[in-house]
Structure 1
Amino acid sequence: MQKNLMIYGSCVSRDAFPLLGPEYKLLTYVARQSMISAMSKPTDLLQGDTLSSAFQDRSLAGDIRSNLLQLVRRFASDIDVLVIDLTDERLGVVRLPDGTHVTRSHELVSSGRLKAVQGRTQDIRILTERHWTLWEAAATRLLGALSQLGLREKTVILNTPWAEMTQAGDPAPPLWNFDTAEVNAYFNECCAHMRSLGYKVVDLPAELRYAAVDHKWGAAPYHFGDSAMAWIAGQIQETAAAAA
């Protein structure tokens, strides 16, 4: 019997999808959209040309429109499993002069659209008190909306702490100037909040938290190996079985 999947997160979740087999269908994939941005109002301040990559253009346009809940509502009756991971929260957000927030993604920055904004913008980085305040409120609203749509039992949230080592035993490549332990502690707090709202959060086992040395998207502390991807696929299958 076919199972329908929606992913809200990053390549951490998306890369596990092919392991699920032909009985799973991916309804839609929302990436590069912080919960803060997703629960913000859409903005008209970031007009610009279409990006050359269809995926990047779709992600940026969706983030600017804050379209996550629109997509969830569209597919709610068909969703068997909703997968959420927090990896893209690493990007932080930008507060725009109209009071809205957008994810500070590579796509947004490289598009040059921020430079054309008239008025003051503010970068709000992860690990700051301001980010936490905005994120906690956004997560509470989002999960409340998912519960109203009957999706709580169909949702699995992945807590995938960043790797400190590669599979070869070398230090995992750093990301920007982040301290991996601080990022992991922050994501743990985020996941604890979502658990407190009655949602299923699963923790990637410590023995699988290794950065792949040959990952197709390059080296990063959140680009895990095949064993971690297999574990994620297993969690999706368990959620689907429990919700059936």
Structure 2
Amino acid sequence: MLDIDSLPDPCRKEPVLSKVAIIGSCITRDLWPIVGAEPSDLLYISRTSLPSLFARPLDGVQPGEEPPPSLGAFPHRAMVNDLKKRALAALVAHQPSHIIFDFIDERLDLLAVGDTIVTHSWELDVSGYLEQPAFDGARTIGRTSPACDLLWLQAADEMAAFLQATPLRDATLIVHEARWATHYLDEAGRTQAFADEVEIFQGKPAVIADHNAMLDLYQPAFLQRVPDAARVAAPPELHLADCRHRWGLSPFHYVDDYYREVWRGLQALGV
């Protein structure tokens, strides 16, 4: 006998599960564990830069089959993907319902190597790969330099065109707007001020105000080029770092309430 109650209700809509891709940093990837969730199908593209994404693969570099002792599997893979320029193909293949951009990883310098560009991440710095002949003659393009700004804006044009020319046009695009914190909570929960200059990683100093000025250029410029993108941001009072953050003290390792606020914004957009 046919059980009528077991038939699907044509008027009931099943929930649509999001399939998220992040082009950005831990400020977005950390949302899930901090709010106690786990993404079902996440592509996380990090330790890169828009100009590097659209450059050609670096010839001659020889990544090892196993990560160097200084690196885990994921950071090694992210660094190799930047050198080999695999991220955009992976992004299209992922078929995301949502693509979240944040530009905190755009703090890293670029390297001009022959006729291409790669991201000078900490992972590249400690990997030993910079000693390979493929990097002979590499020149640094400082992140806060006018040359880097020009390259980034040109790459933002390329990203806007790429999004429209591929099936990614159907994804919900989101910009997670952020700033480097100028203050942090210490172990006792007291608010302290960062020095004007901090280290991005060992031997790489950065002036907080310079990087916030850069974000003030990058974020609106990207939104101008991708006008359909939604914006999520925490209020200014939550741009506060926390020395008890899981990754340690940094101007972009925020208090938990920062992530909860951004999470609410993403949930409203179907993430």
Instruction: Note whether the superposition's TM-score is higher than 0.5.
Output: yes
Aligned partners of 1:140, 1:125: CA distance in 2, in Å? 21
Q: Counterpart of 1:43?
A: 58
The one-letter amino acid of 1:93's match is L
CA contact (8 A) 1:20 1:233 kept: no
Q: Counterpart of 1:171?
A: 193
Q: Counterpart of 1:141?
A: 158
The one-letter amino acid of 1:71's match is A
2:121 to 72, 90, 105: 105
Q: Counterpart of 1:203?
A: 233
For 1:228-243, list aligned pairs within 5 A: 228-240=258-270
C-alpha spacing 1:177/1:150, structure 2 compared with 1 (3 Å):
closer
CA contact (8 A) 2:232 2:262 kept: no
Offset from partner CA, 1:83-134 (integer Å, 9 cap, x none): 111111111211112x111110111111121222253111111110110111
TM-score, length-scaled by structure 1: 0.90
Aligned partners of 1:189, 1:120: CA distance in 2, in Å? 30
Aligned partners of 2:93, 2:171: CA distance in 1, in Å? 18
For 1:47-86, list aligned pairs within 5 A: 47-49=62-64, 50-51=66-67, 52=69, 53-76=72-95, 79-86=96-103
2:106 to 78, 86, 89: 89
CA contact (8 A) 1:127 1:186 kept: yes
Q: Counterpart of 2:48?
A: 33
CA contact (8 A) 2:176 2:232 kept: yes
Structure 1 spans left out of the alignment, 5+ residues = none
SS at match of 2:41: strand
Runs of 4+ in 1 over 4 A off after TM superposition: none
1:157 aligns to 2:157 (yes or no): no
**How large is the Cα RMSD of the aligned pairs?**
1.9
Aligned partners of 2:62, 2:151: CA distance in 1, in Å? 25
Deviation at 1:48, TM superposition (A): 3.3
SS at match of 1:3: coil
Deviation at 1:56, TM superposition (A): 1.4
Offset from partner CA, 1:2-60 (integer Å, 9 cap, x none): 221111111100000233735x4233111101111111111123213232411112111
TM-score, length-scaled by structure 2: 0.81
Structure 2 spans left out of the alignment, 5+ residues = 1-14
Q: Percent identity?
A: 24
SS at match of 1:170: strand
The one-letter amino acid of 2:122's match is H
Q: Which has the larger radius of gyration?
A: 2
Aligned partners of 1:115, 1:5: CA distance in 2, in Å? 36
C-alpha spacing 1:26/1:224, structure 2 compared with 1 (3 Å):
farther
